């Protein structure tokens, strides 16, 4: 299976980001805390360049807390301000606002010394589809100011949002990159819903997920689906066993693969299998080039 997905509006969004970067003081890069590396668009670094940035890792309530600590340490070692947030419950939002103010403190003091009229801090939020951008914006603004949805591709055009007297935020549509060189990255995005299920073989995706979880979170997987043993079993076999346990049977006693695949993916994405992070930070703590 080779996963590729690059809707036409993504190329337009990339141009939009580059054009509007000069309008903002700080970029908020929103990532998925379960897949910090895979949910990072490598083109963003080239577009943003040296613009001040906050890395906000959303859906932290679904991620493995211990591994999140590793990621926080790693991002700090790279020189990035980072914060783990939950855009649904609002965890970390006030701290994020405070960090934005701190990052802009020197510039604001210089403006005051020069007698310049105060203007709000201008920020831009960027992130791949379905990383929770709209929910994040609604929470940080304290009102339903951006269209939200549980499927990728809801936000289509840029919009300025006044958060308060101090901060303005420019929303942009989610952006993926044209080609996935690493298919594990593509799988991680498929697991978490960043790529639409309707263009994927969900049975194969769910099988791949179960196979991965059998190695990294075996107890959580066994407990959730009442599986007796994982040893030596591939993902499809595990999917079949889970299907029988959940009663996903069609006429003739065959497994309803589509149904059990949907259950597995939905329960993973909702955190019902457990708090899971699919990747760890690079071993090297040296500055990225």
Instruction: Assign residue 50 the CATH number of its domain.
Output: 3.40.50.300
pTM value is 0.85
Q: 192 in a domain, yes or no?
A: no
Q: 240 in a domain, yes or no?
A: yes
Query: How much is the pLDDT for 163?
Result: 78
Q: Tell me: do 241 and 152 sit in the same domain.
A: no
Query: How much is the pLDDT for 44?
Result: 85
Q: Tell me: do 33 and 147 sit in the same domain.
A: yes
Q: 280 in a domain, yes or no?
A: no
Q: Tell me: do 48 and 152 sit in the same domain.
A: yes
Out of 149, 171, 193, a domain closes at 171
Helical H segments across the chain, by residue range? 8-20, 42-48, 65-77, 93-103, 105-113, 133-141, 183-192, 202-216, 218-225, 235-245, 257-269
CA angle, corner 87, sides to 65 and 57, nearest 5?
45
Q: 180 in a domain, yes or no?
A: no
Domain that holds residue 151: 8-171
Give CA separation, 225 vs 166, 199, 208, 244, 267, in Å: 49, 26, 16, 10, 10
Query: How much is the pLDDT for 129?
Result: 78
Give CA separation, 151 vs 105, 131, 146, 193, 209, in Å: 37, 10, 14, 7, 19
The annotated binding site for GTP is made up of 58-61, 130-135, 174
The annotated binding site is made up of 58-61, 130-135, 174
Helical H segments across 78-201, by residue range? 93-103, 105-113, 133-141, 183-192
Q: 287 in a domain, yes or no?
A: no
**Number of domains into which the chain is organized:** 2
Query: How much is the pLDDT for 153?
Result: 44
Query: How much is the pLDDT for 189?
Result: 92
Q: Tell me: do 45 and 167 sit in the same domain.
A: yes
Q: Tell me: do 51 and 91 sit in the same domain.
A: yes
Q: From the first residue on, what is the mean pLDDT of each consecutive set of 10 residues in the chain (289 residues)?
A: 56 75 91 95 85 96 97 94 95 92 80 76 86 88 53 53 82 64 88 89 96 97 95 95 96 94 97 97 55
Out of 150, 171, 192, a domain closes at 171
Q: 284 in a domain, yes or no?
A: no
């Amino acid at each position: 299976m080779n996963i590729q997905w690059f809707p036409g509006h993504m190329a337009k969004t990339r141009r939009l980001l580059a054009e509007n970067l000069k309008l903002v003081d700080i970029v908020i890069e929103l990532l998925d805390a379960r897949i910090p590396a895979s949910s990072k668009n490598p083109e963003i670094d080239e577009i943003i360049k040296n613009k001040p940035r906050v890395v906000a890792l959303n859906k932290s309530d679904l991620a493995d807390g211990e591994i999140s600590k590793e990621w926080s340490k790693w991002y700090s070692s790279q020189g990035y301000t980072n914060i783990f947030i939950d855009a649904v419950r609002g965890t970390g939002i006030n701290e994020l606002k405070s960090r934005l103010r701190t990052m802009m403190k020197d510039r604001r003091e210089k403006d005051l010394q020069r007698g310049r009229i105060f203007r709000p801090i201008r920020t831009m939020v960027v992130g791949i589809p379905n990383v929770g951008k709209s929910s994040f914006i609604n929470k940080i603004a304290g009102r339903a100011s951006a269209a939200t949805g549980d499927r990728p591709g809801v936000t289509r055009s840029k919009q300025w949002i006044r958060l308060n007297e101090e901060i303005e935020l420019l929303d942009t549509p989610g952006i993926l990159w044209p080609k996935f060189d690493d298919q594990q990255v593509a799988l991680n995005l498929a697991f978490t819903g960043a790529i639409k299920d309707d263009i994927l073989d969900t049975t194969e995706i769910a099988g791949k997920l179960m196979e991965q979880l059998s190695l990294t979170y075996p107890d959580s997987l066994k407990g959730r689906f009442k599986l007796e043993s994982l040893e030596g079993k591939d993902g499809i076999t595990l999917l079949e066993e889970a299907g029988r346990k959940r009663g996903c049977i069609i006429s003739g006693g065959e497994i309803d693969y589509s149904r059990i695949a949907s259950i597995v993916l939905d329960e993973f994405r909702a955190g019902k299998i457990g708090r899971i992070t699919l990747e760890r930070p690079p071993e090297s703590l040296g500055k990225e080039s």
